[in-house]
């Protein structure tokens, strides 16, 4: 089978391709696993974090990709949940132990034995992959493979962030950064809370215009002050400067939800300017988002179906995965990027 694999770690640059083509045997599903023939795989910023060493794979080479839509092509012993030909989705959560206190309380995303698809196990930048059947999800009709792929991480982790933001209809929500996740958050939030006023902070004029197209009440640059204090802000940027700007923009009692698996170190000195009175006082709070659960993915797939939600996508063939990653690194973004396998 054809695949694109991470073979070394380091900065992503236009003239340095982070992935190398690989020709591998089709994997054989083990007990409890299914074999998935991949149709589409979303391209996520977490792949940049893996390649650049912020959340490195435990072994190399590894096939990245954790927003996978495909069809069941085989099954190992004891994997009876799906039949051959069923369409399934695979997200960031590859597996968890299932018996610790965190798993038993619905927080499998925090399990000590959490394993990530495309980092701890080979993912979807390939024609085939294997997956524990218990952690794959059915994909209903109504969405194409390419449309469904970004819902499995960008959408699901955005939905988790929305729930952690603890919003009520009629409040004001801020979105810092406007890529694959937050453009889905905006659409989902407008459906779930029709009177929510959504304010978008983005560096590029194109991203701000896109946000207005999707119904944002206001869109400005990252450092601009919004027209009103915000009850919650969801940050999806890879750096620290927007976090401080977001804290300043929160209303008393406001919540900042940081939806990033890691932050780059390029601007970490910005924390020297932290001012307690303007950034944290009046019971402002900061909440991180860690991974996703199967329930996050299932809930968002249901919401997307109810809302008729269709992500904005840009497609690339598998062999152009390096181009997709370089475009993502350079923030040449409108919606989500998806590999057509």
Fold classification of 156-288 is Rossmann fold (3.40.50)
Q: Containing H/E element for 20?
A: strand 19-23
Q: Are 47 and 64 in contact (CB under 8 A)?
A: yes
The string of pLDDT tens digits covering residues 110-145 is 999 999 999 999 999 999 999 999 999 999 898 999
- Integer Cα distance of 36 and 65 in angstroms: 13
The residue written with tokens 């590859």 in the block is 94
Q: How confident is the model at residue 13 (pLDDT cuts 50, 70, 90)?
A: confident
CB atoms near residue 231 (< 10 Å):
22
Structure token digits, residue 319: 């062999």
Q: Which distant-in-sequence residues (6+ apart) come within 8 Å of 285 by Cβ?
A: 254, 255, 256
Q: Are 143 and 44 in contact (CB under 8 A)?
A: no
The string of pLDDT tens digits covering residues 87-107 is 999 999 999 999 999 999 999
- The confidence score (pLDDT) of residue 268 equals 86
- The confidence score (pLDDT) of residue 17 equals 84
Q: Are 93 and 108 in contact (CB under 8 A)?
A: yes
For 81-90, what is the mean pLDDT?
Answer: 96
* Superfamily covering domain 2-153+292-340: Medium-chain alcohol dehydrogenases, catalytic domain (3.90.180.10)
DSSP letters along 81-107, please?
Answer: SS-TT-EEEE-SEEE--SSSHHHHTT-
For 64-80, what is the mean pLDDT?
Answer: 96
- The confidence score (pLDDT) of residue 261 equals 86
Q: How confident is the model at residue 15 (pLDDT cuts 50, 70, 90)?
A: low
Is the pLDDT assigned to residue 153 strictly greater than 90? yes
Q: Are 206 and 178 in contact (CB under 8 A)?
A: no
Q: Are 199 and 243 in contact (CB under 8 A)?
A: no
Q: Are 67 and 150 in contact (CB under 8 A)?
A: yes
Domain ranges of the chain: 2-153+292-340, 156-288
- Integer Cα distance of 106 and 155 in angstroms: 19
Is the pLDDT assigned to residue 340 strictly greater than 80? yes
């Amino acid at each position: 089978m054809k695949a694109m694999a991470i073979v070394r770690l380091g900065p992503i640059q236009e003239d340095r391709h982070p992935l190398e083509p690989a020709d591998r045997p089709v994997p054989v599903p083990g007990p409890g696993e299914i074999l998935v023939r991949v149709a589409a795989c979303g391209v996520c910023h977490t792949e940049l974090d893996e390649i650049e060493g912020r959340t490195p794979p435990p072994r190399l080479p590894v096939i990245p990709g954790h927003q996978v839509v495909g069809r069941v092509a085989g099954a190992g012993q004891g994997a009876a949940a799906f039949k051959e030909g069923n369409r399934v989705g695979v997200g960031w959560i590859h597996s968890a132990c299932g018996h610790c206190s965190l798993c038993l309380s619905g927080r499998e995303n925090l399990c000590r034995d959490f394993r990530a698809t495309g980092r701890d196990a080979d993912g979807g930048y390939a024609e085939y992959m294997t997956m524990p059947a218990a952690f794959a999800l059915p994909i209903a009709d109504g969405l194409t493979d390419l449309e469904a792929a970004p819902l499995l991480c960008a959408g699901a982790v955005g939905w988790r962030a929305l729930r952690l933001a603890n919003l009520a209809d009629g409040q004001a929500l801020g979105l810092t950064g406007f890529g694959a996740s937050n453009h889905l958050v905006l659409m989902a939030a407008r459906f779930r809370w029709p009177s929510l006023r959504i304010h978008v902070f983005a560096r590029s004029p194109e991203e701000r215009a896109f946000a207005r197209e999707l119904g944002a009440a206001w869109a400005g640059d990252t450092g601009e002050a919004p027209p009103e204090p915000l009850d919650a802000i969801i940050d999806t940027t890879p750096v620290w400067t927007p976090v401080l700007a977001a804290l300043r923009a929160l209303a008393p009692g406001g919540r900042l939800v940081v939806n990033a698996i890691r932050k780059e170190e390029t601007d970490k000195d910005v924390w020297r300017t932290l001012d307690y009175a303007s950034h944290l006082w009046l019971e402002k709070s900061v909440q991180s988002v860690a991974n996703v659960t199967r329930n996050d993915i299932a809930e968002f797939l249901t919401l997307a179906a109810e809302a008729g939600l269709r992500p904005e996508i840009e497609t690339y063939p598998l062999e152009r995965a390096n181009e997709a990653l370089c475009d993502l690194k350079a923030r040449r973004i409108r919606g989500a990027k998806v590999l057509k396998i």
